[in-house]
């Protein structure tokens, strides 16, 4: 069944989505999620990688229910509205690599575009450098698109194949419910938990899951995309998605101001470092990777929920990349960039430029 | 005769970019754009209407056919 009209795909709809997302992110922060990290797709995938032992950074291990909810919410919405369609086959290995590079770049900055919004809303001026990097990275991506960049066409696939990533998310949810955190223990069953640091800061499981489901439903209907917001302004002078992102920022900013959560400055910001050059360059890399892959990390989760296996491969890349970022010393911390952070950001940028260069004038 | 643009299977922003490039090359032309998902249908429709075109949408199995003209 296809719905006749979709309010959420209108500009008013995407603005409403942005407002709800901003409010939910602040709610999650007030209920226990880390500072300026109500929702961060890169950080939360990094925490998931830690929870299942793909990296062993003790302070970032938690199977974030928000991510599971975002995929499953999008799956439910797409099934109900007749938009679920299994598809894939558009350069999957390149998309895996782009997902990995995106996670590495984002973890040099310490956040995905969603967290750029939340950090700005909390007054973290370091995020301005991340935002500038994101705009430059996406801008480089638009240059490739103007040169005919394409990863090739996707093909329809068997219905069940689109359920694999949502199925993995359901299995992870079952793992989380069967292996709940035990007070003072860093392991429960097969899952790792943080006893301190960002991984130990989280809202109640069911609240996080419910918020993720709502985000998944609204974002699937509205096509909310933080990267697309910037890309469409640069490429088409089209502000539709950007207004949604600005609504999320405005809502989070106002709520922070009202609730005493706005602390302007660069020093002492939660889970942030002050190395402006690498805040900028990390997000140039991540922004270009998101642009070439056709969506921000959140949008990739929602598309994966709609049956898009190319997006699903990107999501797996995000989780793998986050694990690599911590295992190889690419990831930053509040004290500064990691020992190999420069290599991670610049190496990732080089990978993206090569992918961009060798995939122009294809497919279209 | 409308120019045919097959954007099926292409991800964002390629369907919109293909349409806008064609529309720029042939001002006042008419175009038939084929897409295979709702997001691309909405995006191409929005871009066309913003450019002053009218858009007729026909469902064709799992695909959409967008007839776009001034």
B positions 10-69 inside 8 Å of A (CB): 10-14, 16-18, 20, 36-39, 42-43, 46-47, 50, 59, 62
Q: What is the pLDDT of residue B62?
A: 85
Backbone angles phi, psi at A122, to 5 degrees: -90, 0
pLDDT digits (tens), chain A, 364 positions: 344 578 999 999 999 999 999 999 999 999 999 999 999 999 999 999 999 999 999 999 999 999 999 999 999 999 999 999 999 999 999 999 999 999 999 999 999 999 999 999 999 999 999 999 999 999 999 999 999 999 999 999 999 999 999 999 999 999 999 999 999 999 999 999 999 999 999 999 999 999 999 999 999 999 999 999 999 999 999 999 999 999 999 999 999 999 999 999 999 999 999 999 999 999 999 999 999 999 999 999 999 999 999 999 999 999 999 999 999 999 999 999 999 999 999 999 999 999 999 999 754 4
ipTM exceeds 0.90: yes
CA distance, residue A223 to nearest chain B CA (Å): 7
Chain A nearest-CA distance from B10, in A, is 5
Query: For chain A, which residues lie within 8 Å of any Cβ of chain B, measuring from their own Cβ?
Result: 2, 6, 9, 83, 85, 87, 90, 145-146, 150-151, 153-156, 223, 225, 228, 231-232, 235-236, 238, 240, 294-295, 310, 363-364
β-pair partners for A124 = A265
Cβ neighbours of A170 (radius 10 Å): 15
| Residue B30 contacts residue B68 (beta carbons within 8 Å) | yes
- Would the CB atoms of A6 and B10 count as touching at under 8 Å? no
Cross-chain Cβ contact A232/B17 below 8 Å: no
Beta bridge partners of B34: B6, B65
Which structural domains are found in chain B, ordered by start?
3-69 (3.30.110.40)
Contact across the interface for A85 and B18, Cβ inside 8 Å = no
CA pair distance A337, A321, nearest whole angstrom: 16
Chain A residues in contact with B38 by the CB 8 A cut-off are 2, 6, 9, 83
Residue A7 CB: number of other CB atoms within 10 A? 11
3-state class of A180 per DSSP? coil
Q: Which residues of B touch A310 (CB under 8 A)?
A: 11
B9–chain A Cβ distance below 8 A for any pair: yes
Of the residues B20, B37, B39, the best mutation for testing chain A's interface (the one with the most A CB atoms within 10 Å of its CB) is: B39
A316 touches A96 (CB < 8 A): yes
pLDDT value at position A246?
98
Calculate how close chain A gets to B11, using CA atoms only, in Å.
6
Interface with B, mutate which of A3, A232, A292, A304 (most B CBs under 10 A):
A232
Task: Report the relative pairing of strands B3-6 and B31-35 from DSSP bridges.
Answer: parallel
> For chain A, how far is it from start to end, CA to CA, in angstroms?
30
Interface contacts A/B by beta carbons within 8 Å? 59
> How far apart are alpha carbons A133 and B4 in whole angstroms?
38
Cα–chain-centroid distance for residue A273? Answer: 19
Which residues have C-beta within 8 Å of that of residue B69, sequence separation ≥ 6? B2, B30, B31, B53, B54
DSSP three-state, residue A309: helix
């Amino acid at each position: 069944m296809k719905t006749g009209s979709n309010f959420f795909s209108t500009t008013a709809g995407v603005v409403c989505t942005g407002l709800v997302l901003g409010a939910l992110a602040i709610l999650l922060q007030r209920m226990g999620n880390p500072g300026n990290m109500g929702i961060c797709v890169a950080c939360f995938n990094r925490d998931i990688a830690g929870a299942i032992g793909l990296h062993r950074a003790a302070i970032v291990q938690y199977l974030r229910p928000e991510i599971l909810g975002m995929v499953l919410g999008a799956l439910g919405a797409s099934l109900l509205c007749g938009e679920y369609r299994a598809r894939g086959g558009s350069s999957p290995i390149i998309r895996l690599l782009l997902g990995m590079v995106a996670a590495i770049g984002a973890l040099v900055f310490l956040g995905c575009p969603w967290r750029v919004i939340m950090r700005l809303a909390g007054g973290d001026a370091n995020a301005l450098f991340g935002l500038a990097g994101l705009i430059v990275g996406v801008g480089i991506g638009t240059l490739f698109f103007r040169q005919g960049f394409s990863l090739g066409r996707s093909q329809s696939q068997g219905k069940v194949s689109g359920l694999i990533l949502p199925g993995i998310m359901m299995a992870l949810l079952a793992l989380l419910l069967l292996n709940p955190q035990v007070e003072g223990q860093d392991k429960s069953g097969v899952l790792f938990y943080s006893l301190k640091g960002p991984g130990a800061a989280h809202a109640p499981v069911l609240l996080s899951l419910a918020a993720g489901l709502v985000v998944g439903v609204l974002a699937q209907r509205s096509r909310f995309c933080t990267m697309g917001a910037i890309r469409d302004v640069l490429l088409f002078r089209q502000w539709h998605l950007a207004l949604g992102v600005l609504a999320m920022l405005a809502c989070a900013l106002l709520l922070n101001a009202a609730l005493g959560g706005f602390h302007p400055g660069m020093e002492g910001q939660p889970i942030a470092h002050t190395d402006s050059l690498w805040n900028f360059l990390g997000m140039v890399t991540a922004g270009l990777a998101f642009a070439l892959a056709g969506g921000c990390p959140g949008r990739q989760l929602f598309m994966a929920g709609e049956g898009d296996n190319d997006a699903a491969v990107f999501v797996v890349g995000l989780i793998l990349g986050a694990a690599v970022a911590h295992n190889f010393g690419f990831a930053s911390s509040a004290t500064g960039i990691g020992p190999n952070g420069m290599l991670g950001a610049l190496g990732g940028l080089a990978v993206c430029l090569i992918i961009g260069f060798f995939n122009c004038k294809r497919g279209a | 005769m409308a120019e045919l643009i097959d954007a099926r299977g292409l991800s964002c922003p390629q369907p919109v970019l293909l349409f806008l490039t064609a529309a720029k090359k042939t001002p006042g032309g008419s175009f038939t754009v084929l897409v295979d998902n709702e997001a691309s249908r909405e995006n191409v429709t929005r871009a066309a209407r913003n450019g002053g075109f009218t858009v007729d949408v026909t469902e064709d199995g799992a695909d959409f056919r967008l007839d776009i003209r001034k």
